[in-house]
Amino acid sequence: MADPSPGELRGPCDQEEIQIGQRFAEHIPTEQGNLQPINKQRTFNVVAREILTQFQVWQRACYSRNIEWGPITAKIISALPQFYGREAEVIIRCTKMLHNRRDYLRRRVKTHITVLKSGETPCISKCTQCCDKYHCPYCETWVYKPRESGSVVNHVQNHLKLAVHEEDFTIVKCNLKCREYAHFHCCYCPATVLRRGQLKTHLTKCKQKFNAEEELEGTCSFEESPEHQ
């Protein structure tokens, strides 16, 4: 599956934040009171992402009403003093950033049936095609024959007990036609892996690559406009 192009990953809010960052990337005071030019990439988005990362909000893209904005806005304003007294505006802009990241993650990940998101439960329904029994949603019929509801529920529970947990995802072993042997699907990319140990190693590397691409995507467009040079 090809990754979306950078143009597809940016929404209107992202473009707005870039323009905001370009406007405010001017100077910051040093301890001696002298003005030093701020790094061209140290714009609002970059500073906010670093601070949201410190508070473990950015990695999980968890736009939540339970976020304690006070410490976050204080750190942003200490790095970008031109926002002093504009705490509400900082919160709104950070919220937009989290919304955009959450939407980006949703577009980036096409989840397989064996990859369950937080709060999602397996769908077990009665067959209407080949029999009047219940199928395991994760196994072909030659792996696990259709049975009565109670037996299938117990079987699926065993799937869940042996599943791999990665942040907000539960990855169940797949016995469908994707591959010849039982395997796991990555929750970050289209790859499939045969063993649990291999999956954990793959998830670590895949997540690092994913975050690196995000950082590149987040900093590649933050240079100052000609009018500020």
Q: What residue has token string 């976020």? A: 67
Domain boundaries, the chain: 6-108, 115-208
- % of the chain beyond a pLDDT of 90: 30
Residue 118 has pLDDT above 90, yes or no: no
pLDDT band of residue 55 (cuts 50, 70, 90) is confident
| 54 membership: H or E segment, kind and range | helix 44-54
Contact (Cβ atoms closer than 8 angstroms) between residue 170 and residue 161? no
**Nearest to 24, CA basis, from 83, 89, 72, 85:** 83
- % of the chain beyond a pLDDT of 70: 66
146: tokens are 């259709």
Q: Which of 174 and 110 is assigned the larger pLDDT?
A: 174
Q: Considering the entire predicted model, what is its pTM?
A: 0.48
End-to-end CA distance of the chain: 40
pLDDT digits (tens, 9 = 90+) for 7-19: 333 344 444 444 4
What residues pair up with 166 in beta bridges, in sequence order?
Answer: 169
Left (φ > 0), alpha (ψ -120 to 50) or beta: where does 56 sit?
left
Q: What's the whole-number mean pLDDT along residues 49-76?
A: 81
41-45, 77-81, 94-98, 189-193: range with lowest mean pLDDT: 41-45
Residue 3 has pLDDT above 80, yes or no: no
Residue 64 has pLDDT above 80, yes or no: no
Q: What's the whole-number mean pLDDT along residues 47-67?
A: 77
